[in-house]
Amino acid sequence: MASDAASACVPLTSDSAALIKPQPSSCARGPLLAYALPYLSIGMIMMPVATIAPNLYVKERGVSLASMGVVLMFARIFDAVSDQAVGYISDITRERLPGGRKAWLVLGALVAIPSVYLLFTPPQAAGIAYFAVGSLASYLAWSLLLIPYLAWGAELTRGYHERTRITTVRSIFGQAGTFLFLAMPLALNALHLAPSTSMTLQATHYVALALVALLPVTILPALLFVSGGTKPAARTQASLGAAIRSLRVNRPMQIFFGALLVSELGYGIFATVIFLYIDAYLGLGAKFSYIIIMVNIGTLLSLPAWEWICRLTSKKTAITASWLLQGILLVPFVFIPRGESGFAPLIAVIVALAFFGGAGVVVSPSLLGDIVDYDTLKTRGYRAGNYFALYSLVDKFAVAVGGGVAFELLSLFHYDAVHPTTNTPSANAAMLGVFACVPAALRLASLALLARYPLDARRQGIIRRRLDQRETRAARAASASSAASAAAIGVLL
């Protein structure tokens, strides 16, 4: 039963007619849901580790902005480098470990459970050193879980639109996990386990407990009911040098990575400062959970819409529209009034921004799957783990640098997050510039690079057919060789 369900996620390429006009690859609903389920737990890890925990250590443990900026930059660069190691090793072990990339989910869970628990439940005396150790361990666990998991998703199909469907369903589960994290303070307050609805380290303690229970439960169905994915007739090349050399002939990758670097630099600044903007600048910290839950709902509702837009137009058109609209919508944050009167306009702007930002969640991993196929066709090498690791490197490096720069700029202008009423007009102006204006400029600048991206549904269809043909020829050659060997043995006997 499990194997039958799993086979529904494997592209159909054995029919010789498929070499002329391949059947659309399709993943049945059951295996697709089982594959997407682990992202529920991973979604609970990603946002708090990357954006919430640093701000809580600043606010509740007295860590300085300057020292936090340095540690964040180092921790996130470590995260990006660890992604490379995990990507390379997961490519090498794909055919050697039982279950292929599935084994990495188990290893990632074993590291994530203790490291995230320790990060989210710091003792009262915990300072920057404790945060540094906890965040490094959590980022390592994140790499072990995420990189093989994303590469596995790209291997479930070669269909241009089917890849977007898989990333959409996976992203819905990820947003649901983020929603569970954000709703935790509200639930705790309703159950009289917390004095307010504010996001605090007391609330993240319960998040850690929930994660300990959820990780094994969400991973198990994926291990049991989902195929290991396609096995392309190409040699695995798991070296950083080979992956970098492949970029010379991979123009789509060059363009996409360049645009992503500029765009995500702005996102790193925005995501790092959003808590301080809402809590310290606007004075709406008590409503932070409500605000971010609305953001999460806006993103969640947008995901099916962006899949539909991709099918109606193209992935490139969808991501271009997303970045353009985000760049425009960042500017109104400058004009939102402080205090309670700013709550309604903040909700309106930030939910619209979240809706338009949902495209990146759906489209970017789907685009990368197409780019991996292009690389395999051009170089005859297979390095899905390498490429998802490189994607993560660019993304996280940009976010790390953006986050570090954001804290350093706020520190340079003497912005006080602990006593915000003492901030001067120039310090408050710096907050607005760092949070809204700089990210807007970077989002819009990235469009000039993205305009040159060449892959669309027609070109991806050509790549897919050629890879199907190559793999069928390889399978026939292997079958003929086996038959000849058997015949030779028969003659000898």
Buried/exposed 296-318: b ≥16 CB within 10 Å, e otherwise = bbbbbebbeebbebbeeebbbeb
Find the range with the poorest average confidence among 7-21, 75-89, 300-314: 7-21
- Sequence-separated (6 or more) residues with CB below 8 Å from residue 209: 117
User: Does the structure show a pLDDT above 60 at 231?
Assistant: no
Element (H, E) at 251: helix 251-276
What is the mean predicted confidence (pLDDT) over 317-344? 94
Higher pLDDT, 278 or 19: 278
Determine the average pLDDT of the residues in 162-176: 88
Q: For residue 483, what pLDDT band results from cuts at 50, 70 and 90? A: low
Q: Residue 1's pLDDT is what?
A: 38
Map out the domains of the chain as residue ranges: 37-230+247-475
Residue 44, pLDDT above cutoff 90: no
- Interacting residues of 95 by C-beta distance below 8 A, sequence separation 6+: 231, 236
Question: Which tokens belong to 122?
Answer: 């710091």
More confident residue, 230 or 212: 212
Q: How confident is the model at residue 235 (pLDDT cuts 50, 70, 90)?
A: low
Chain-centre distance for alpha carbon 360 = 9
Task: Using pLDDT thresholds of 50, 70 and 90, give the confidence band for residue 451.
Answer: very high
Between the CA of residue 442 and those of 184, 320, 375, 426, 439, what are the distances in Å?
33, 13, 28, 22, 5
Query: Please, are residues 253 and 69 in contact by the beta-carbon 8 Å criterion?
Result: no
Q: If you ran DSSP here, which 8-state letter would residue 279 be given?
A: I
Angle between helices 53-61 and 251-276 (to 10 degrees): 30
Whole-prediction pTM value? 0.70
Q: What percent of the chain has pLDDT above 70? A: 87
Fold of 37-230+247-475: Growth Hormone; Chain: A; (1.20.1250)
Confidence of residue 34 (pLDDT cuts 50, 70, 90): very high
Cβ pair 194, 58 in contact under 8 A: no
> Residue 15's pLDDT band (boundaries 50, 70, 90)?
very low
pLDDT for the residue 488: 61
